[in-house]
């Protein structure tokens, strides 16, 4: 049985996809110039070029959150430190422990937006 959207056949009687474009299945990587992490960008990459003080505007901020949204930050510290209050709005880190940022130069940080909280988990690595 063929499947159609309106009058366009998408799956024919043969087991092949027709009239569909599946060229880009991966989200674009955002590379902001500021310290904003936008939940509308599933993946953000940031190489620090200055000190994160924990005092605005030198603090990571999360924007455009909504229940169920998830985003990931691929962070290169570039030798700069991040204080324990370097991320604004995080209400809970994995296991209740703020990461020791100076332990690793590279971090993969995933943020999950809950109705009343933003949870985060961070994994540091050396290479």
How many Cα atoms sit within 13 Å of 74 on the Cβ side?
10
CB atoms near residue 13 (< 10 Å): 9
**Secondary structure in 3-state letters for the chain:** CCEEECCEEEECCCCCECCCCCCCCCCCEECCCCCEEECCCCEEEEECCCCCCCCCCCCEEEECCCCCCEEEEEEECCCCCCCCCCEECCCEEHHHCCCCHHHCCEEEEEEEEECCEEEEEEEEECC
Mean pLDDT of the chain: 85
Q: How confident is the model at residue 26 (pLDDT cuts 50, 70, 90)?
A: confident
Bridge partners of 60, per DSSP, are 87
Residue 92 lies in a domain: yes
Query: CA dist 49 to 27, 30, 58, 68, 105, Å?
Result: 25, 16, 11, 31, 13
Residue 51 lies in a domain: yes
Domain of residue 83 covers 24-125
Question: Is 5 a member of any domain?
Answer: no
Question: Do residues 29 and 37 lie in contact, with contact meaning Cβ atoms separated by under 8 Å?
Answer: no
Residue given tokens 């130069």 in the structure block: 105
Instruction: Say how many domains are in the chain.
Output: 1
Task: State residue 103's pLDDT score.
Answer: 95
The verdict on residue 18 lying in a domain is no
> Which pLDDT does position 76 carry in this prediction?
95
**Of the candidate ranges 22-31, 32-41, 65-74, 101-110, the one whose mean pLDDT is the lowest:** 22-31
In-domain check, residue 61: yes
**Confidence band for 122, pLDDT divided at 50, 70 and 90:** very high
Q: Is residue 13 part of a domain?
A: no
Domain assignment of residue 11, yes or no: no
52-103 residue pLDDT tens? 887 877 789 999 999 999 999 999 999 998 888 888 888 889 999 999 999 9
**Residue 70 located in a structural domain:** yes
pLDDT tier at 2 (50, 70, 90 boundaries)? low
């Amino acid at each position: 049985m063929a499947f159609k959207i309106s009058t366009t056949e998408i799956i024919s009687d043969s087991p092949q996809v027709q009239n569909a474009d599946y060229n880009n299945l991966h989200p674009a990587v955002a590379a902001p110039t500021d310290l904003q992490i936008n939940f509308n960008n599933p993946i953000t990459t940031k190489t620090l070029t200055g000190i994160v003080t924990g005092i605005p505007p030198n603090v990571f901020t999360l924007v455009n959150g909504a229940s169920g949204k998830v985003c990931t930050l691929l962070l290169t510290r570039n030798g700069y430190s991040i204080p324990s209050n370097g991320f604004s709005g995080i209400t809970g880190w994995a296991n209740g422990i703020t990461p020791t940022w100076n332990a690793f130069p590279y971090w993969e940080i995933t943020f999950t937006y809950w109705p009343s909280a933003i949870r985060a988990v961070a994994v540091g690595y050396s290479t």
